[in-house]
Amino acid sequence: MTVPDDLLDRVRKLLAKAESEGVTPAEAEALTAKAAELMARYGIDRARLGALRPETDKPADRVFDLDNPWAGVKAHLLSGLVLALRCQCVLLNRAEPGSRVHVFGYLSDLERADILFTSLLVQMARALAQQPVPSGGGRARAWRRSWMLGYCTAVVARVREAEEAAVAAADRDPGDGQVGGKSAALVLADRSLVVRRQVQQAYPRTRKTRVTYSGGGYRDGYAEGQKADIGSTKIRSRAAGVLTG
């Protein structure tokens, strides 16, 4: 089997249009929905090709250094996206202000996560700038943070649903979805096990915790994040400094 080389280029172009000034919410919704669909299909195709030819898609890792403002929120978004795209990550301590995220996964999934993360940061910032924020320094900051956390939850949920739909579609077509007698779901499960072992070898001891917020913007942020139209399954929040997944 082969994977079209131009598929990710099409995804990048769709997301670039969604980020453009003057694009209406409805237009951005349609663009991001199509981008998520193509990206999910690309992920399945690369996984199936990798099962047949392991040299085409190998386990790897990447460190993301995220600067302020809102480094913690950025780390939360990145963590949710990499989990939805079958990667795992560890949030590390960083001497300077900001957040550091160590991401593990197959090369094709790391690339997909990077593309989506970069685009959604732009879209989230643009959408937040258009919101009526309550007055008052501390209150306004808390509201913005809660709004962004709601946005992150919504868009990550949609990415997860797009991924699940792509797996289901591949397995509904035995001629296309089977690789060496394995369904797409089993191929992906094997890859997930490899990634978990990567993390365990690099970080034998990790812990989990939750992200909390005090502002009242979460619901509005979630509603805005739904306009990206890339899925609908909720995920649990997790905080920086811990293993996610």
Burial class (CB in 10 A: 0-12, 13-18, 19+), 192: middle
pLDDT band per the 50, 70, 90 thresholds, residue 218: low
* 9-26: b (≥16 Cβ within 10 Å) or e: eebeebbebbbeeebeee
Average of per-residue pLDDT across 219-230: 59
Among all chains, which residue has been given the structure tokens 């990077």? 114
Question: What is the DSSP code string of 205-231?
Answer: ----------SS-HHHHHHHHHTT-S-
Helix, strand, coil percentages for the chain (3-state, nearest 5):
60, 10, 30
Contact 84, 96 (CB under 8 A): no
**Residues, the chain, total?**
245
Identity (one letter) of the amino acid at 65? D
Identity (one letter) of the amino acid at 90? V
State yes or no: pLDDT of 181 exceeds 70: no
Question: What is the DSSP code string of 87-143?
Answer: -EEEEE--SSSSEEEEEEEEHHHHHHHHHHHHHHHHHHHHHHHTS-PPSSHHHHHHH
Could you give the 3-state DSSP secondary structure of residue 194?
Answer: helix
Among all chains, which residue has been given the structure tokens 């790897």? 60
Q: Which residues contact 165 (CB under 8 A, 6 or more apart)?
A: 40
pLDDT band per the 50, 70, 90 thresholds, residue 142: confident
This prediction's pTM? 0.82
DSSP lists the bridge partners of residue 102 as 63, 90
Per residue in 80-119, pLDDT (tens digit) is 999 999 999 999 988 899 999 999 999 999 999 999 999 9
Residue 84, both tokens: 């939805």
